Amino acid sequence: MKSIFSFILLLLAFLGANSQENQNEELGKLTSGNFTVNKVLENNGNFKFETASKQWPISFTKVGNNYSEVTVNRAGIIEEKYQADLPGFPAYYKSETSDIIITAIDKKIYYYSYSVKTGASIKYIFSETKIKNYADEKATLDNYRNSIKELQTTTRTQRIEENNALAAKQEEEHTLKGKIIKSINVVPVTKPSEVGLLSIIAIGVEVTLDNGKVLKTKNLGGFTPYTDFESEVSGGDFAGGDFKVADDSRKIPGDKIEIAVWSKYDDKKTKGKFSIPVNYKRDVNYNFSGNSGASGRGGTVGYSINGKNGEDGKSVNISVTTIQLNGEPVNKVVITDKYSGNIIAESKLNTNYTLNINANGGNGGNGSVDFGNGGNGGNGGNGGNVTITGTGASSLKSSIINKGGTGGVGGNAKTQSFEKGMNGRNGNNGIISK
């Protein structure tokens, strides 16, 4: 008899859990409007409800068969919006700005916070019907949350399986594998007006199949993966739908970028091509600053307590020549190391754009403390010298920063009987010559 009784209890519990209705069904029993407000009052651990004199407006937003949002006008003034936790099978509605949660059960709307350990802490119940005592209402809400959680787990699993099936179907429909290609069109997502060094241009691909169907990459609103394509480029690099213009004008033959794209599954290699002139309408930035010195490390074998000196900024010569490209004046800039004479970089930029050079000296490292005297701070590096020459020097817009680095701070002594380390010297500012 005892085992039969236990079985009946388990069966009833199972049926109770599976009879729980999700919030789409619970809210379907309600109508937007004014609800009686039952506020929870606490006195020495005892809870009771007090009915407010004014009702609060509450509304429900339905999209298709699902209720996506609950709006509570607290005190009829403050609008609070709560969104479904699992749209197809919600257990509650949550806010992005507070810990308050909304759940409807049997035409009662519970306004509460929730803890896995202690369950629900009810603040209000909005109801069209009579409410029970606090303990009973809390038990009703806690039981609902526990039961609906199990049902949500099943729903989430089903949804994952459905999404995976949909993704597999979508992949099969939009992949180029096994498809016969009629033509490929390579287009910029938006027509770029400024194309200079290191510009990034979003490039999309449209593929017309032999049956007339057109497949597109994601940046054009389609689903064909970029990994289905292979490409040849000139003037930069192309990956994941983005073309990045080269960082040096010597890498841009003919002052234009070119892209040829084809399906990696296509033996015929039917290609789509795209080309656009580089107008060099973009600021160019170079960093020739020296590295900062490392700080001292007291009490560490193999390291000094003294900070290391900052490195000097690189000294460079900049030769500027003004040329005409596509009817517009462009400065060709050649940058060489002042001492070795080696070319560091070449760039081109429209005369309305700026060449930015940073050639600061590195900061000296701070001194540390060992078991006695503090370590000395390292000296700051000197700023690099920058010389600008050439027929286009007067038309070049430039911003050059070549300050000396700051000396490191001397480390504090271990005790007053020892000496603090000396501060490092600041580096000298570099010279700008035009």
Q: What is the DSSP string of 332-348?
A: EEEEEETTT--EEEEEE
Asked if residue 1 belongs to a domain, the reply is no
Q: What is the pLDDT of residue 156?
A: 67
Per-residue pLDDT for 371 more than 50? Answer: yes
Question: Which of 212, 244, 277 is at the close of a domain?
Answer: 277
Regarding whether 119 and 23 lie in a shared domain, the answer is yes
Q: What is the pLDDT of residues 276-285, one digit of tens each?
A: 999 999 999 9
Regarding whether 418 and 292 lie in a shared domain, the answer is yes
Per-residue pLDDT for 160 more than 60? Answer: yes
| Domain residue limits at 113 | 17-153
Regarding whether 122 and 43 lie in a shared domain, the answer is yes
Q: What is the mean pLDDT of residues 76-102?
A: 89
β partners of residue 369: 374
Return the number of other C-beta atoms located less than 10 Å from residue 80's C-beta: 16
Place 413 in a pLDDT band, splitting at 50, 70 and 90.
Answer: confident
Q: Burial code of 39-66, b = ≥16 C-beta within 10 A, e = fewer?
A: ebeeeeeeeebeeeeeebebebeeeeeb
Asked if residue 231 belongs to a domain, the reply is yes
Asked if residue 165 belongs to a domain, the reply is no
pTM score of the predicted model: 0.62
Provide the CATH number for the domain around residue 247.
2.60.40
Asked if residue 242 belongs to a domain, the reply is yes
CB under 8 Å, gap of 24 or more: what pairs does 67-70 form? 67/23, 67/24, 67/27, 67/28, 69/93, 70/27, 70/102, 70/109
Regarding whether 247 and 296 lie in a shared domain, the answer is no
Q: What is the mean pLDDT of residues 366-393?
A: 92
Regarding whether 286 and 251 lie in a shared domain, the answer is no
CA-to-CA distance for 319 and 335, rounded, in angstroms?
6
Return the number of other C-beta atoms located less than 10 Å from residue 214's C-beta: 14
Regarding whether 317 and 246 lie in a shared domain, the answer is no
Place 292 in a pLDDT band, splitting at 50, 70 and 90.
Answer: very high
Per-residue pLDDT for 7 more than 70? Answer: no
Regarding whether 244 and 298 lie in a shared domain, the answer is no
Regarding whether 287 and 202 lie in a shared domain, the answer is no
Q: What is the mean pLDDT of residues 311-332?
A: 95
Asked if residue 376 belongs to a domain, the reply is yes
Number of domains the chain contains:
3
Q: What is the mean pLDDT of residues 18-44?
A: 88
Per-residue pLDDT for 17 more than 70? Answer: no
Task: Tell me which residue of 376, 265, 367, 389 sits closest to 317, measured CA to CA.
Answer: 389
Question: Which of 242, 277, 312 is at the close of a domain?
Answer: 277
Per-residue pLDDT for 315 more than 90? Answer: yes
Per-residue pLDDT for 5 more than 60? Answer: no
Q: What is the pLDDT of residue 11?
A: 35
Regarding whether 321 and 253 lie in a shared domain, the answer is no
Q: What is the mean pLDDT of residues 366-395?
A: 92
Per-residue pLDDT for 259 more than 90? Answer: yes
CA-to-CA distance for 92 and 286, rounded, in angstroms?
55
Question: Which of 216, 242, 277 is at the close of a domain?
Answer: 277
Return the number of other C-beta atoms located less than 10 Å from residue 300's C-beta: 11
Tokens 């983005």 — which residue?
242
Per-residue pLDDT for 72 more than 50? Answer: yes
